[in-house]
Amino acid sequence: LFQCEEDDIAYEEEMDDPQLGVSTQTLVSSKGEFQSAKRLPQYLAAISVTIGAFALGNVLAWTSPTADELSQTTNNNLTSTLMTQSEWSWVGSLMNIGAALVVLPVGYLIDKIGRKFTMLGLTVPLYYVGRIITGMMGGAFSLTAPVYVSEIAESDIRGTLGTYFQLMVTVGILFVYVLGSQVNAFALTLVCGIVPLVFGVVFFFMPETPLYYIQTGRIDRARDSLQYFRGKSYNVEPELQVRYKFTEH
């Protein structure tokens, strides 16, 4: 706590210093002028985090193409090992229960361990356990992914990147409908199970958001994160100061 307060005081003094020049961690162009922020890292981060939204779309749509094969809703001659119509309805409903149960814990975790590790910890390994757990995954992602995208994006493109989440959910649903019409339930489930693994590998290399680092008193890490998303030749200090002041209110 005392360390965080010391960091805050030091940072405020740094920002109020009239002699403040170019940060040693900020590079400039050959003409000595700061370049505009690069947007490719922001787009890549938004796409990588919304791979989880694609997986959520898979979960939402999975019960539709697999119903004929795994339940007795359309074929009374199916073996007794398959689920009844009533049991199958529970399979579809448990995801919503899981999503409702996870909202409050995730709201706490995103500030405690960060946006990045909340998504990595709650989504990848739990996808395989069952519908109620995948519902928890979906609920966690619905809260955390939009927060992550909004905190790493520039204001000019924040709205555009914010649409990626719902777009990927819809694409994930469409993907399951199309693939489910061509393969059996086992193959469909296997393919859907690969998606969280892809998300885990890709998103693991993305930085935590600058705002989270500021909230936890790690200003240097916040600067590094913002520099990654804006490019090495962009002066992040003004934006970093605005974000720092924002967390004080």
What's the rounded mean pLDDT across residues 175-187? 87
**Cα 193 to Cα 25: distance, rounded to the nearest angstrom:** 41
Work out the pLDDT band at 8, boundaries 50, 70, 90: low
- pLDDT at res. 80: 41
- pLDDT at res. 21: 38
Residue 37 has pLDDT above 90, yes or no: no
Lowest-confidence segment of 132-136, 169-173, 242-246 by average pLDDT: 132-136
**Cα 136 to Cα 56: distance, rounded to the nearest angstrom:** 10
H-only helix segments in 50-84? 51-70
Residue 55 has pLDDT above 50, yes or no: yes
Query: If you ran DSSP here, which 8-state letter would residue 125 be given?
Result: G
In this predicted model, which residue has the larger pLDDT, 69 or 128? 69
Residue 71 has pLDDT above 70, yes or no: no
The architecture that CATH gives domain 40-203 is Up-down Bundle (1.20)
pLDDT in tens, 9-23: 454 554 554 433 333
R_g of the chain, CA atoms, integer Å: 22
What's the rounded mean pLDDT across residues 172-189? 87
What's the rounded mean pLDDT across residues 54-77? 70
Quick check: pTM over 0.75? Answer: no
